[in-house]
Chain A
Amino acid sequence: GAVVSQHPSRVICKSGTSVKIECRSLDFQATTMFWYRQFPKQSLMLMATSNEGSKATYEQGVEKDKFLINHASLTLSTLTVTSAHPEDSSFYICSATRTGSTGELFFGEGSRLTVL
């Protein structure tokens, strides 16, 4: 199957700082990637769709100025949590689909963000 790598797996930061999470498709090109947030014992909440070479599409209720998404190449999307607050602490997961596939998602390993 396709491989999606996410980094870092764990990050701890202070309130007010910014944190960048990277999502890479290692063996395929991904024109579209997706970012999710997962709370403990809950399902995935789609935050935004990252489009290579264009602006991300954010889901309703997600602050685009707080969660900056950049998809600069066909294999890399980044999520930057700006001015982090403790309530931003969560598990963030990215995913991608292969061009021409019938839609199964390939997920990164996830990033556990803790804001102190």
Chain B
Amino acid sequence: AQSVAQPEDQVNVAEGNPLTVKCTYSVSGNPYLFWYVQYPNRGLQFLLKYITGDNLVKGSYGFEAEFNKSQTSFHLKKPSALVSDSALYFCAVRAYNTNAGKSTFGDGTTLTVKP
């Protein structure tokens, strides 16, 4: 069975500082990894994905994430946080040969960026 762990329920950073939202995963075979962001009372928005290739992937709004196979991690990062980045972030994983609907989501991490 596949799983995703987001060890931090809450991450607080000051505006302008770098941010990291952690994600580790467990899956059989090669993983497809995703990050999504959710604003209050809204659906999720796709940020970025790792399918294959370069371990460092860049996505929307200046976010990036690094796939680390040995540590089974896919941490989300941004060099300089904005107040508008405050939201709920979900990491998701699925095995390469499974239906997209079988993506497993983490429990989410609430990011708060303070001015």
Q: In this assembly, does B85 line the interface, its C-beta being within 8 Å of a C-beta of chain A?
A: no
Closest A residue by C-beta to B110:
A41
Per-residue CB proximity of A20-54 to B under 8 Å, as 1/0? Answer: 00000000000010100000011110100100000
Question: How many inter-chain residue pairs (CB < 8 Å) link A and B?
Answer: 66
Give the docked Cα–Cα distance between A95 and B103 (Å): 12
Given known contacts A6-B43, A102-B32, is B105 in contact with A43 (CB within 8 Å)? yes
Q: In this assembly, does A7 line the interface, its C-beta being within 8 Å of a C-beta of chain B?
A: no
| Cβ contact within 8 Å between B43 and A32 | no
| Cβ contact within 8 Å between B101 and A112 | no
Give the docked Cα–Cα distance between A39 and B94 (Å): 22
Given known contacts A43-B90, A43-B108, is B103 in contact with A105 (CB within 8 Å)? yes
Q: List 26 A-B contacts (CB under 8 A).
A: A6-B43, A9-B41, A32-B99, A34-B100, A42-B107, A42-B108, A43-B90, A43-B106, A43-B108, A44-B105, A93-B43, A93-B44, A95-B44, A102-B32, A103-B34, A103-B51, A104-B34, A104-B100, A105-B44, A105-B103, A107-B36, A107-B44, A107-B45, A107-B46, A109-B42, A112-B41
